[in-house]
Structure 1
Amino acid sequence: MARRAVIGLDIGTGSTKAVLTDAGGEILTTAVRHHAMSMPHPAWAEMDAERDWWGDAVACLRELATAGADLDCTIEAVCVSGLGPAVVAESATGHVRGPAILYGVDTRTGEQIEQLNRGLGPARILERGGTALSSQAAGAKLLWLAQHGALEPGDRFFSSHTFVTWRLTGAYYLDHQTASQFDPFYDMRTGAWADDWAGRFLPGCELPQLRWPGEIVGEISAASAASTGLVAGTPVLAGTIDAWAEAYSVGTTSPGDAMLMYGSTVLAISSLAGFRSHPGLWATTGITPGSHTLAAGMSTSGSLMSWIRDLCSGQSYEDLIEQARAVPPGSDGLLMLPYFAGERAPVSDPKARGVIAGLTLGHGPGHLFRAGYESIAFGVRQILNLLGEAGAAPTRIVAVGGGTQGGLGPQIVSDVCGVEQHVPRTVIGASYGDALLAAQAVGLAGADENWCSLDRIIAPDPGHRADYDELYANYSRLYAATRPIVHDLADFAAARESSAETRPPSARPPSE
């Protein structure tokens, strides 16, 4: 008898990952395709939707369809999640209008945010949408596209997972969770599009239908079946943004639960009993109807540590982690601000920049690596403080993501913040949450079923708290003290780039 199975697929910043599981959550096989975001200009972060989203999804689905056939599996549902909120537009004739703009790591929309704040009022935006506008606001990115000829009346727009699902099924929709990050065009009070605001700033734009992540939105079409090897008619779910799918995968869905995701960036998601807002946090819907979250994401984490590793050419992560372990808390007086790609939270500042303070000739790679980890931990502490201010301080934290594997980074977070973190036995990622949603949608798993089991607890070392409290006070002062300087430097760099772009090719140096 054929084994009943489901597929979860997640489009991440660095790769697309897919998992084939049975009805009990056992992982039968996985598939991965690697890609990377492009940063063609300062403050821009893009991906090729055709190649990186659809192309990699097709390759992973075909691999799992083939493996499923070899394992005598009947694939009964597919659910897709993805990085976001990201935006890309497609014309009525199926032409993709340029690269996709990524989530808050792309900070190009400062002018559009000012326009929306002037036209609607920051207080009204916060009241209606629950979130102050920042580089994370996908609605501002839609406005940027419209003003630059990449979103025209009659076009349709997508986030990463809905672009793939559109190609799989022909269903034009956006899940509520993702839509709630298309500020200011989603009304958190009514759970519907803010049609009046969207009509004012995006006239003629066709807003997608709203669905919940666990709903079936369509079926694998004959054309996508031919591309992927899946059976035509297989149900496909709405899915959602990857971090929320991952939070679902580890069971952080009850009030008081929070997930800390250590990836290219750090993201914190705290589940709530009801709607709350805070000007420094993102208020969103959750995965299921009536659920709410408060969230915040830093702009760098794993990407910062990769940058430091690349500076220390020839050294592996393992080598640098061991060197960082040998360095005492505080990195012998080295303090870093991790704003190397601007910052989303705890400060909303696209012109923030990285700062390394206290450098001496006695500092080495291990000091830099530890200071990087500590800068991320101080940022997490500020985010947890904001959650406390909002009345949503978490009582249980689950740590996920590739950054949990080295051990040192999350341990420093616990030491700096004074909190325990629970680590799952198997860290699969958002694709596992997608698979669970798919299994629940077709009756292979119960509505309250949880496939996650916890493995260990990272407890804070109380012996480090006094040093970190002192350093945290200096960290909190460092941004304010350097902000005018780094803003001037950001403006200087932008002006230099603009000047280079407007020069005729004959006037540019060969390196350009």
Structure 2
Amino acid sequence: MTELVIGVDIGTGSTKGVVATPDGQVVHTASRPHGLELPRPGWAEVDADEVWWGDVVAVTRELVDAVSAAGDVRAVKGFCVSGVGPCFLPTDDEFRPTRKAVLYGIDSRAGDEITELEGRFGADRILEVGGTPLSSQAVGPKALWVRRHEPQTWERTMRWFNSNSFVVARLTGEYVLDHHTASQCDPLYDMAAHEWYRPWCDEVVGDLAMPRLAWPHEVVGHVHAAGAEATGLPVGTPVSVGTVDAWAEAFSAGVRRPGELMLMYGSTMFFVQQVTAPQPHPMLWSTVGVLPGTSSMAAGMSTSGSLTGWVQRLTGDAPFEQLVEEAAAVAPGSDGLLVLPYFAGERTPIFDPRARGLVLGLTLTHGRAELFRAVYEGIAYGIRQILEFLDGPDSPVDRVVAVGGGTQGRLWTQIVSDVTGREQTVPAQAIGASYGDALLAAIGTGLVDPSTDWARAGRTVQPDPARRDLYDGLYEQYVGLYPATRDAMHHLAALQEDDAAGRG
């Protein structure tokens, strides 16, 4: 009987799962699409029961049924789940949500709480303890927002979860969070001690119980009877705690050594760079890595694939492949269009939840092809700006690995290489974070050594030097757009927030 492991990832737009052997062979896959809720500008939520738990149940049962049909479900020796994060999901003592989950950095509601915590603890001290400045990515301000604005919810709340830890609790009854996700829950985690920073936890979340901590690969519990009934997994199956999806995907892509960087093309754009030691930076996120003794730097844009979807809906819902083909026929520079992709505020490098999108240079001759290509190029300029922060003297970027759904069409990756001047490697097997979860489960259960790497190199994207001068000039204009329009953006954002409050 061949031993098997299952990995499941809860993404922004879908949940995906994979069954793999200890040598990385993919046996079965499954997926389930879902959405998120945007009740107000700057808010992003999800129903954790319906989406996080419901999707994992459906995907896992499909995988278990496939294993059972082909052999014996007892061959499943480990399970691991990753998901979007860091998020804030409050629950009662029985793991029942007391409100919908407040999502990661795309939810920017807690701006006032960020300002308050910086004033209370000191921005420099927060950076020193947690390695990261407070931004819309931080969990602490979101917890404080719920505590302040929804006191009735808070009275019923006893625990809190990220997406992966919520599923682990439902499967095993264990209240636990992985170290990596915890290191993004600023200002609650002490990077040096690898523990919760109790003085600030007490001030921010009060009497709320804090989950125990474990490394992503570690087995933290076993599937209990209710978890087995829901998912089809055998009772007693070892469960590893998992981590944030981007780090599980970096793990799956073989981004494991200092100097390697994963660029994830998804609904948002995310960067994970491996470094030799924590390096607090006011414009980036410094976190612990997936395995003990590892460290990473990270950055994230608030929109990427979600912005191309917006163009698709705006221009008549043409097939995506057709839009890409039309955009490929447009010359570099998009006929003088320049897009600032801050349609949901922005995380790195400006950390401004009230930033707004901008399309500059429009004329009556422009159409959807030019707009679509300009969006690709605008995101690429944002990537270049962030890479300039990541590629520092103490942590140079010497290898870029491109992953995610956006790598499947070649136009986007080519534009990014042309704009940044950087070569990108696209793995041969681009399954994603669920594949990294399966590897973590194999490591956690002792089926493979922690040094095991399942990644296999695929195609390489080379920059076209003939386009460098054009893109250098447009990039210079891009960098100047936000400072020149910030006040107007904030004025318009305030109007949008007032309108939303009136409708609410």
- The answer to whether the superposition gives a TM-score over 0.5 is yes
What amino acid is the match of 2:200? W
Long gaps (5+) in structure 2:
none
Correspondence for 1:21:
20
On the 8 A contact 1:142/1:151 being kept in 2, the answer is no
Correspondence for 2:46:
47
Q: How does 1:261-280 map to 2 (within 5 A)?
A: 261-280=264-283
Tell me, in whole angstroms, the C-alpha distance in 1 between the residues paired with 2:476 and 2:419.
Answer: 12
Tell me, in whole angstroms, the C-alpha distance in 1 between the residues paired with 2:202 and 2:248.
Answer: 30
Q: Deviations over 1:162-193 (max 9, x none)?
A: 00010000110110000001000101121111
Tell me, in whole angstroms, the C-alpha distance in 1 between the residues paired with 2:187 and 2:156.
Answer: 19
Partner of residue 429 from structure 1, selected from 412, 428, 432: 432
Q: How does 1:201-220 map to 2 (within 5 A)?
A: 201-220=204-223
Correspondence for 2:243:
240
Tell me, in whole angstroms, the C-alpha distance in 2 between the residues paired with 1:53 and 1:487.
Answer: 34
Shift of 1:260: 0.2
Correspondence for 1:103:
104
Correspondence for 2:338:
335
Partner of residue 163 from structure 1, selected from 163, 166, 175: 166
Q: Deviations over 1:371-409 (max 9, x none)?
A: 000000000001101112473231001000000011111
Correspondence for 2:461:
458
On the 8 A contact 2:305/2:406 being kept in 1, the answer is yes
**Does 1:195 find its partner at 2:194?**
no
Tell me, in whole angstroms, the C-alpha distance in 1 between the residues paired with 2:191 and 2:398.
Answer: 25
Percent identity, please: 50
Instruction: Say if 1:94 and 1:246 are closer, same or farther in 2 by CA, change over 3 A.
Output: closer
On the 8 A contact 2:98/2:156 being kept in 1, the answer is no
Shift of 1:153: 7.8
Tell me, in whole angstroms, the C-alpha distance in 1 between the residues paired with 2:393 and 2:53.
Answer: 39
SS in 2 for 1:151: helix
Correspondence for 1:508:
none
Root mean square deviation, CA, Å:
1.2
Q: Deviations over 1:104-154 (max 9, x none)?
A: 000101011011111001010011111110000011111112222333486
On the 8 A contact 1:277/1:390 being kept in 2, the answer is no
Which deviates the most, 477-486 or 387-396? 387-396
On the 8 A contact 2:95/2:169 being kept in 1, the answer is no
Q: Deviations over 1:337-382 (max 9, x none)?
A: 0000000012110000000000011111111011000000000001
Tell me, in whole angstroms, the C-alpha distance in 2 between the residues paired with 1:143 and 1:425.
Answer: 43
Correspondence for 1:142:
143
Query: For this pair of structures, how many residues does the alignment match?
Result: 500
**TM-score in terms of structure 1 length:** 0.96
Q: How does 1:303-322 map to 2 (within 5 A)?
A: 303-322=306-325
Q: How does 1:83-98 map to 2 (within 5 A)?
A: 83-98=84-99
On the 8 A contact 1:153/1:204 being kept in 2, the answer is no
What amino acid is the match of 1:222? A
On the 8 A contact 1:154/1:206 being kept in 2, the answer is no
Tell me, in whole angstroms, the C-alpha distance in 1 between the residues paired with 2:36 and 2:438.
Answer: 25
Correspondence for 1:173:
176
What amino acid is the match of 2:300? G
**Does 1:345 find its partner at 2:348?**
yes
What amino acid is the match of 1:212? W
On the 8 A contact 1:3/1:72 being kept in 2, the answer is no
Partner of residue 379 from structure 1, selected from 378, 382, 397: 382
SS in 1 for 2:277: coil
Tell me, in whole angstroms, the C-alpha distance in 1 between the residues paired with 2:435 and 2:60.
Answer: 15
Shift of 1:444: 2.2
On the 8 A contact 2:134/2:186 being kept in 1, the answer is yes
Correspondence for 2:253:
250
Correspondence for 1:415:
418
Correspondence for 1:485:
488
**Does 1:445 find its partner at 2:434?**
no
On the 8 A contact 1:152/1:205 being kept in 2, the answer is no
Partner of residue 298 from structure 1, selected from 301, 316, 322: 301
Long gaps (5+) in structure 1:
502-512
Correspondence for 2:77:
76
Tell me, in whole angstroms, the C-alpha distance in 1 between the residues paired with 2:129 and 2:94.
Answer: 35
Instruction: Say if 1:390 and 1:112 are closer, same or farther in 2 by CA, change over 3 A.
Output: farther
Correspondence for 2:6:
7
SS in 2 for 1:3: coil
What amino acid is the match of 2:465? P
Q: Deviations over 1:174-226 (max 9, x none)?
A: 10000001000101121111101111222111111010001000000011111
What amino acid is the match of 1:99? K
